[in-house]
Amino acid sequence: MLRGIILGLFITILVIFIPPISGQVGNVYSSNSALAGTIPPKELPTLAPLVEEVSPAVVNIATKGLVEVRQNPLFRDPFFRRFFGDRIPQQQRETASVGSGVIVDSVRGYIVTNSHVIAQANEIVVTLKDRRRLPAKVIGSDPETDIAILKVKPKNLKEVQYANSEELRVGDYVIAIGNPFGLGQTVTSGIVSALGRSGLGIENYEDFIQTDASINPGNSGGALVNLKGELVGINTAIIGPSGGNVGIGFAIPINMARQIMDQLIEHGEIQRGRIGVQIQDLTMELAEALGVKGESGAVVSQVMPNSSASKAGIQAGDVIVEMNGQPVIGSSDLRNKVGVLRVGDKVTIIAIRDGKELKLKMKVGARDESPKLSSNNDIPKLEGATFGKVPENHPLYGKVAGVAVIQIQPNSPAQQAGLSPGDIILSINKTRVKEPKTLLEEAQKSKNGPLLLNVRRGNGALFLLIQ
C-alpha cells in the first residue's frame, strides 16, 4: 500500500513539472525570439557610448615630406663633375603617409603620436572627428621610444583621460581607435594578450602591451583604451606577413609615454641619462650561483668607472631587483626604467649581493656625448667619418676599448678606405686608442703618410691600410 502511495506521488510530480511535448517543441523553435523580447533594446550590450565619448580625441594625421634618393651614378663620373661643378642636382622624392594621434591636452592643443608617423615630414595636417583640418607643428620627437608630440590651435578640442597602465592585466578588454590604411576613423576591440613585451627589435626601449585588437598600418599613434574610456597605450606596431594584422599588435604603455611626453613638451627633446652598468637577465642557474631567490632581476655584469653606479657602490655580480619601489623583472625592464628618467633624477635601488639585500641611492648621470670629426678636417684620409665613444646600444659596449665609427658619409674618403659605421678602431699605427681625441692626434702625426688601423668589426678584427 505504501509503495502505491509513493508511486502515485511520483507520477503527480512528473505531470506538474514536465510540459507537454507540443509546448516543448514550440519553445525550442521560439527561444531566440522570446529571449530577444525579454531584453529592452536600450539594455543590449554595446560599446557605442564609450566610443562616442573617446573618438573625438582621436585624430587622423597626414604628412608630406621630401627624402633624398640615390643619385644617378653618372653624376659621380669625373667628366660630369667637371661639367656641373658644385651644381650637381640633388634628387629628391616627395613622400606622403597617414597615421593617427591622440589629443592629450585640449587647452594647449597637444597631440601624442608615433615618431615614425611624422619622421621627415615638412607638412603635417591633423583631421578631427568633426572633419576640421588643422595644421600641426612638431614640438618634439623621440625615435628611441617612438613617441612624438604635435601642437595644433586649441579650439573646441576634446582630450582623453589617462589610465594607470601599471594596473592592466592580461585578459582585460581594450579598444583600438585609429586610421587604418587611411580609411578614416575605425574602432576595433580585443583583449590584452601580454604585458612587458620586449626584445622585438622595433624600438630601442620596449615595454609593449600586446593585444589582439586589430591594428593595421595607419593605426600607428592611435589610442588603446580600456572599458572606462581611459587611455592605456599608444598603438605603435604589428607583427604579421607583409605588414598585415594577424591578431598580434603592440602599444606603448601610457605611463611610459607620459614620461617621454612631459620631457618633449618641456625641453623639446629627451635628456636621457644612464647609471653606468652592463646588465643581463637573471637565469635559474645564475640565481642559484648568486644566492638569489626567484628569477626576477637584472644581473650587473660590469660597472663603468666613475659612473653613478660605481659611486653608489654597485658591484659586478649584484642583482638589481627593485628600482624606485618598482620590481625589476629583467634587464630590458631595468633599461626601460632608466631610459625614461631625467639626468639628475634620484634613484633608489634594491640589490641582492651574496644573498643579502642592499639599499643603494644614486643620481642618474648624463650620457657621454660623442665628439665628432667634421667632414672638412685636416686629415683628408679620414674625411667623412664621425668618431665617438662606443655608444651604449653597441653590442660591444663595455667589452672592447676603442673608438667607435659613428657615421660615414657616402662616397667619402673614409668610406672608400673601407671604414663602416659600427666599426671600433682599436689602434692606429700600432698605438692603442680609447678616446676620439687620441685617434685624431695620432692620425695628425701621419697625415701625409699611411694610416694602419686595427679595427674590430662584429665578432672579428681586421687591419685597414689607408695610403
Question: What span, in angstroms and rounded, lies between the C-alpha atoms of 57 and 160?
Answer: 6
User: Between these two residues, 410 and 288, which has the higher pLDDT value?
Assistant: 288
User: Between these two residues, 67 and 163, which has the higher pLDDT value?
Assistant: 163
Q: pLDDT (tens digit, 9 = 90+) per residue, 28-38?
A: 333 444 444 55
User: Between these two residues, 135 and 43, which has the higher pLDDT value?
Assistant: 135
pLDDT score for 463: 83
pLDDT score for 57: 93
Q: pLDDT (tens digit, 9 = 90+) per residue, 181-235?
A: 877 888 999 999 998 887 665 556 778 899 988 888 888 899 999 999 999 999 9
C-alpha cell at 446: 701621419
Residue 257: which of 280, 279, 235 has the closest Cα?
A: 235
Query: Is 196:181 a contact under the CB 8 Å cutoff?
Result: no
Q: Which CATH number, 1.20.272.10, 2.40.10.10, 3.40.50.360, 3.30.365.10, labels domain 161-267?
A: 2.40.10.10
pTM: 0.62
Percent of the chain with pLDDT over 90: 25
Q: pLDDT (tens digit, 9 = 90+) per residue, 377-408?
A: 567 788 878 888 887 778 887 778 888 888 78
User: Between these two residues, 366 and 401, which has the higher pLDDT value?
Assistant: 401
- Amino acid, res. 145: T
Question: What span, in angstroms and rounded, lies between the C-alpha atoms of 141 and 264?
Answer: 7
For residue 239, give Cα distances in angstroms to 32, 188, 216, 235: 40, 17, 10, 12
How confident is the prediction for the chain on average, in pLDDT? 79
- Say yes or no: do domains 161-267 and 273-366 share a fold: no
C-alpha cell at 39: 531584453
Point out the catalytic residue in the list 55, 165, 214, 220.
Answer: 220
pLDDT score for 444: 82
Overall average pLDDT of the 450-463 stretch: 84
Question: What span, in angstroms and rounded, lies between the C-alpha atoms of 298 and 279?
Answer: 6
Overall average pLDDT of the 231-259 stretch: 79
Question: Could you tell me which CATH number the domain at 273-366 has?
Answer: 2.30.42.10
DSSP string, 335-350: HHHHHTSBTT-EEEEE
Overall average pLDDT of the 250-278 stretch: 86
Task: Name, in order, each residue with C-beta under 8 angstroms of 223's C-beta and a sequence gap of 6 or more.
Answer: 54, 57, 58, 100, 102, 160, 176, 177, 178, 231, 233, 234, 235
Q: How many CB atoms lie within 10 A of CB 313?
A: 15
Respond yes or no: is residue 262 known to be catalytic. Answer: no
Query: Is 345:262 a contact under the CB 8 Å cutoff?
Result: no
Respond yes or no: is residue 146 known to be catalytic. Answer: yes
Q: pLDDT (tens digit, 9 = 90+) per residue, 297-324?
A: 889 888 887 788 888 899 888 999 998 8
- Amino acid, res. 363: K
For residue 250, give Cα distances in angstroms to 207, 210, 224: 9, 5, 10
User: Between these two residues, 362 and 343, which has the higher pLDDT value?
Assistant: 362
DSSP string, 409-426: -TT-HHHHTT--TT-EEE
Q: pLDDT (tens digit, 9 = 90+) per residue, 83-100?
A: 555 455 555 566 667 889
pLDDT score for 176: 93
pLDDT at 156 over 70: yes
DSSP string, 144-168: TTTEEEEE---SS---PEEP-GGG-
pLDDT score for 202: 57
CA dihedral 172, 178, 183, 186 (to 10 degrees): 40
- What is the residue extent of each domain of the chain? 57-82+92-151, 161-267, 273-366, 380-466
Question: What span, in angstroms and rounded, lies between the C-alpha atoms of 247 and 326?
Answer: 30
Buried/exposed 328-340: b ≥16 CB within 10 Å, e otherwise: bbbbbbbbbbbbb
Which pLDDT band, with edges at 50, 70 and 90, does 376 fall under?
very low
Instruction: Please determine, looking at this structure, whether the domain spanning 57-82+92-151 carries the CATH number 3.40.50.300.
Output: no
pLDDT score for 18: 44
Point out the catalytic residue in the list 55, 115, 116, 332.
Answer: 116
Point out the catalytic residue in the list 146, 207, 212, 333.
Answer: 146
pLDDT score for 247: 66
Find the range with the poorest average confidence among 126-135, 256-265, 271-280, 351-360: 271-280
Q: Which fold does the domain 380-466 belong to in CATH?
A: Pdz3 Domain (2.30.42)
Which pLDDT band, with edges at 50, 70 and 90, does 242 fall under?
low
